[in-house]
A and B are shown apart, each in its own frame.
Chain A
Amino acid sequence: MPNAKIIPIHGEEPIVPRLVDDLEPDVFARLREFWEFVQSRLAGDYSVDDLGFDPEFNDKVLMALVRPLYKSWFRVEASGLENIPDAAGALVVANHSGVIALDAVMTQVALLDEHPVHRHLRMLGSDLVFQSPFLGEIARKAGHTLACHPDAERLLSDGEIVGVWPEGYKGIGKPFAERYKLQRFGRGGFVAAALRTKTPIIPTAIVGAEETYPMIANATVVARLLGLPYFPITPTFPLLGPLGLLPLPSKWFIHFGEPIPTDQYPDNAADDPMLVFNLTDQVREQIQQTLYRLLLQRSSVFG
């Protein structure tokens, strides 16, 4: 076929080298970026805030580790992000479940990845977290602090998004049969903190976390021996050993609800226990109603 077009094998623009050229700047830039990151970390050349929050380490390492869990394992669907302010402080109050508080971590990912201005969630944890080796260290680096008035109010008045799980261990350590039934909401300390700093409360409902580790029993003797608030027995743990630590891949929904404003109350409102109780109940009720609504909407646990 003399008329056939000749395609040169070694033409003027070889395909393979061009691909490398296209890739080169990007790949090398990224490698260089990564190397510079490692170097600056090793030299201690980064800054942490007063509470020990290391935003660089959190965003580039910790969040990168849990993001696959958020995206692929639980396939979290977050909604109501418009209720979270862009710059001001707010108090996110959510239901707690699932034995190891993965719900808190997923809420953190939701706010960082899906909020338009990528907000960091600063959680308030129990003292048990901060006395545990590794856990306490990582929690501090991820920006969390002890649930106490001074720290909570400092963060809120600095315009941070603060996360609190008022059910505490009663929530994460509750049996599977009681899933999505909110436990008592502590002593309402979080409401007092919001009132004092006049920041809105965002009642937040998390669906899916309660099925990750269905706790069928609590080995109280083991818990007491280990000094833990509970020791979970699930269908897979401790039966299957480490494999039992794998959470079930339930489908998750996180809804950040309508904010409850606190700035219309007088300055000393936090000292009125009745008001604090009423607001606590209002927050709890709003979360419970949202939970029921989300549960009705989901097609199945593993959706």
Chain B
Amino acid sequence: MGRVVLVTGVARYLGGQLARILSQDPAVDQVLGVDVVPPKVNLPGMQFVRADIRNTVVHMGVIATPRQAGGRATMKEINVIGTMQLLAACQRTPSVKALVVKSTASVYGSGPKAPALFTEEMQPRHAPRSGWAKDSVEVEGYVRGFARRRPDVAVTTLRFANFIGPGIDTAMTTYFSLPVIPTVLGFDARLQFIHEDDGLEFVKRAVLGSYPGTFNVSGNDILMLSQAIRRTGHKRVALPEFLFTPFGRNISRAGLIDFTTEQVAFASFLARREVSVA
């Protein structure tokens, strides 16, 4: 029997692209897609296909953009409760032999007490306290629990740097497409990126091969935020930190960009970000 892969989060860009790529691959017999469709409906998590022929589960369903998800509460519901239910189902399914989870390098947090570079085994010094990054920390916790209870399943956790590319729409791409890009005065973040196609290639290889463990996935080298903005050719405006949050909150309230309060903290995070992965 060939490979049957279940992909969560297929209604969103990366999940959908991955499902498309995998279904075209001769090594994969069948791809099952799962998502909360339409995403804005407040469903209590994921829907599950009761088909015990699947042997690989790819969890792409952790969402970073609350506006697209239909609010922070829904986002947390999908991210955390959805993961718990998915893992619960996997644990009951003996045919599951591999689990690939999309996570983020944001789980390392960011702050002045953090080392400049994080390797996979290092513990965060400033654990993220809100939003998507915190969800991802919790998701990884449940995934570790699952790995303990089902030692026969090869669990791969991929901690991605910021996705960037022509197709993907994230808070990061929104931020960089602003005509005037606000930054925090006196801080210049170090940023790492990964192209969406490279990221998908990684997930594909993790699905088709067997690479149990946790991996940081990022492009080589880093860009400074100021440098990245110069390369976009956009204007940069440096705001003092105390003005940054109210400013961000107002443009987000006006519906201009997909920033919630903690996504503004994101921009502030972004602008002061000191985490990169090795």
Task: List the interface of chain A (C-beta within 8 A of B).
Answer: 41-52, 54, 127-137, 140-141, 145-146, 148-151, 154
CB < 8 Å neighbour of A150 from B119, B188, B227: B119
Task: Please give the distance in Å from A58's CB to the nearest CB on chain B.
Answer: 13
**What 8 A-B pairs are tightest by C-beta distance, nearest first?**
A133-B186, A44-B230, A131-B112, A44-B231, A130-B112, A44-B227, A127-B112, A150-B115
Task: Say yes or no: is B135 at the interface (Cβ < 8 Å to chain A).
Answer: no
CB < 8 Å neighbour of B227 from A46, A129, A136, A149: A46
Q: Are A145 and B187 in contact (CB under 8 A)?
A: no
**CB neighbours of A52 from chain B (8 A):** 116, 188, 190, 222, 224
CB < 8 Å neighbour of A50 from B116, B184, B187, B231: B116
A126: nearest chain-B partner, CB-CB: B112
Binary contact track B164-202/A, C-beta < 8 Å → 1, others 0? 000000000000000000001111101000000000000
Task: Say yes or no: is B274 at the interface (Cβ < 8 Å to chain A).
Answer: yes
A128: nearest chain-B partner, CB-CB: B112
CB < 8 Å neighbour of B187 from A51, A128, A133, A148: A133
Task: Give chain B interface residues in 233-267, CB to chain A under 8 Å.
Answer: 241
Q: Are A48 and B117 in contact (CB under 8 A)?
A: no
CB < 8 Å neighbour of B122 from A51, A129, A140, A150: A150
CB < 8 Å neighbour of B116 from A42, A134, A151: A151
Q: Are B116 and A51 in contact (CB under 8 A)?
A: yes
Identify 15 residue pairs between A and B in the complex whose beta-carbon atoms are under 8 Å apart, listed by A's number.
A43-B231, A44-B229, A46-B227, A48-B190, A48-B227, A50-B116, A50-B222, A132-B186, A133-B187, A136-B112, A136-B186, A137-B186, A146-B112, A150-B119, A154-B117
Task: Say yes or no: is B84 at the interface (Cβ < 8 Å to chain A).
Answer: no
CB < 8 Å neighbour of B274 from A48, A49, A130, A141: A130
Report the separation of the CA atoms of residues A44 and B226 in the bound assembly, to the nearest whole angstrom.
8
Report the separation of the CA atoms of residues A259 and B195 in the bound assembly, to the nearest whole angstrom.
45
Report the separation of the CA atoms of residues A285 and B224 in the bound assembly, to the nearest whole angstrom.
41
Most buried by B among A45, A140, A141: A140
**CB neighbours of A148 from chain B (8 A):** 115
Task: Please give the distance in Å from B243's CB to the nearest CB on chain A.
Answer: 13
Q: Are B188 and A146 in contact (CB under 8 A)?
A: no
**CB neighbours of A54 from chain B (8 A):** 224
Task: Say yes or no: is B92 at the interface (Cβ < 8 Å to chain A).
Answer: no
Report the separation of the CA atoms of residues A131 and B186 in the bound assembly, to the nearest whole angstrom.
10
Task: List the interface of chain B (C-beta within 8 A of A).
Answer: 111-119, 122, 184-188, 190, 221-224, 226-231, 241, 274, 276, 278
B118: nearest chain-A partner, CB-CB: A150
CB < 8 Å neighbour of A48 from B112, B118, B224, B241: B224
Q: Are B190 and A43 in contact (CB under 8 A)?
A: no
**CB neighbours of B222 from chain A (8 A):** 48-50, 52
> How many contacts A-B (CB < 8 Å)?
83
Task: Please give the distance in Å from A17's CB to the nearest CB on chain B.
Answer: 41
**CB neighbours of B117 from chain A (8 A):** 50-51, 150-151, 154
Task: Please give the distance in Å from A196's CB to the nearest CB on chain B.
Answer: 15
Report the separation of the CA atoms of residues A14 and B218 in the bound assembly, to the nearest whole angstrom.
63
**CB neighbours of A130 from chain B (8 A):** 112, 274
CB < 8 Å neighbour of B115 from A128, A133, A151: A151
Task: Please give the distance in Å from A112's CB to the nearest CB on chain B.
Answer: 21
Report the separation of the CA atoms of residues A136 and B185 in the bound assembly, to the nearest whole angstrom.
11
A42: nearest chain-B partner, CB-CB: B230
Report the separation of the CA atoms of residues A56 and B122 in the bound assembly, to the nearest whole angstrom.
31
Q: Are A47 and B113 in contact (CB under 8 A)?
A: no
Task: Please give the distance in Å from A249's CB to the nearest CB on chain B.
Answer: 30
Report the separation of the CA atoms of residues A141 and B226 in the bound assembly, to the nearest whole angstrom.
12
Report the separation of the CA atoms of residues A134 and B185 in the bound assembly, to the nearest whole angstrom.
8
- Taking A44-B226, A150-B118, A154-B278 as known contacts, 11 extra A-B pairs with beta carbons closer than 8 A to each other, sorted by chain A number, are A41-B230, A47-B221, A48-B222, A50-B117, A51-B117, A131-B112, A136-B187, A137-B187, A141-B188, A149-B115, A150-B115
B233: nearest chain-A partner, CB-CB: A43
Q: Given the known A-B contacts A42-B230, A43-B230, A43-B231, are A134 and B119 also in contact in the complex, defined by CB atoms under 8 Å?
A: no
Task: Please give the distance in Å from A130's CB to the nearest CB on chain B.
Answer: 4
Report the separation of the CA atoms of residues A195 and B113 in the bound assembly, to the nearest whole angstrom.
23
Report the separation of the CA atoms of residues A52 and B122 in the bound assembly, to the nearest whole angstrom.
20
Report the separation of the CA atoms of residues A41 and B229 in the bound assembly, to the nearest whole angstrom.
12
Task: Please give the distance in Å from B20's CB to the nearest CB on chain A.
Answer: 34
**CB neighbours of A150 from chain B (8 A):** 115-119, 122
Q: Are A145 and B116 in contact (CB under 8 A)?
A: yes
A129: nearest chain-B partner, CB-CB: B112
Q: Are A134 and B186 in contact (CB under 8 A)?
A: yes
Report the separation of the CA atoms of residues A132 and B186 in the bound assembly, to the nearest whole angstrom.
8
Task: Please give the distance in Å from B122's CB to the nearest CB on chain A.
Answer: 7
**CB neighbours of B185 from chain A (8 A):** 133
Task: Please give the distance in Å from B207's CB to the nearest CB on chain A.
Answer: 29
**CB neighbours of A136 from chain B (8 A):** 112, 186-187
